Chain A
């Protein structure tokens, strides 16, 4: 038996918004630790890794590990029926269940909506993402600022080069209409920690990425005030949004473009 109750259905809704344009389906792996989703885009260029820790739920019970194979567009339809302040409870029988139940309760407890979502068998391979990668450059910034940079620059071109040097971090883009270069610098004096920009550099780093995927990643901005972008020569970029203090995270990995 699996049963988990989250006080804010909106958190789950935001997680779905953060992944559904990039991947169409995935296994939500449920264990005592929490709920984990790992999925790659169809081109196998990027990967999203979501973790919702058990302690981030009001109630969490998972007797046996199970994978809920879900078509994300369908789950999105169900979650769109949740009210802004609704709580959500997800229930499923053990492995082999055909459906999962989603129940939304209004904050006053006077409106309860229940859906049975059809599950599917998804053959998904888990990629072994190394945990011990050391990155030569890390940029921490407000997630709204990251979203704006990507949104602005993606109108100019479809490839962006991120360069971190002692002068700051620059995002360079070129396209048919011309070129753009946006440079940000560390700003650790901002009043609120969430408004600070922190650029950490072990060594100057310059890598090129497809803008299309970075645009997908900005969909997670509503989940977190800040985003951390970690890059190193010739390894995948990591874009990480933490959910709350302890609730979990959405991490995206993106293979760089490399000049051969």
Chain B
């Protein structure tokens, strides 16, 4: 099952 990601982590990663 796909897991919901946290948006902050994405933008921190970018």
Contact = CB atoms under 8 A, between A and B. Distances in A.
B3 A40 contact: no
A44 B7 contact: yes
Interface residues of A, number: 23
A43 B7 CA distance: 9
A257 B2 contact: yes
A254 B10 CA distance: 10
A236 B8 contact: no
B8 to A, nearest CB: 6
Interface residues of B, number: 12
Nearest to A260: B3
Main secondary structure of the interface of B (DSSP, over half): mixed
Contacts of A260: 3
Contact of B7 (A208, A254, A257): A254
B2 A253 contact: no
B11 A46 contact: no
A209 to B, nearest CB: 9
Contacts of A254: 7
B8 A235 contact: no
Interface of B: 1-11, 14
18 contacts: A40-B8, A44-B7, A44-B8, A45-B4, A45-B5, A45-B7, A46-B7, A127-B11, A128-B14, A130-B11, A130-B14, A208-B2, A236-B7, A236-B11, A253-B7, A255-B4, A259-B2, A260-B3
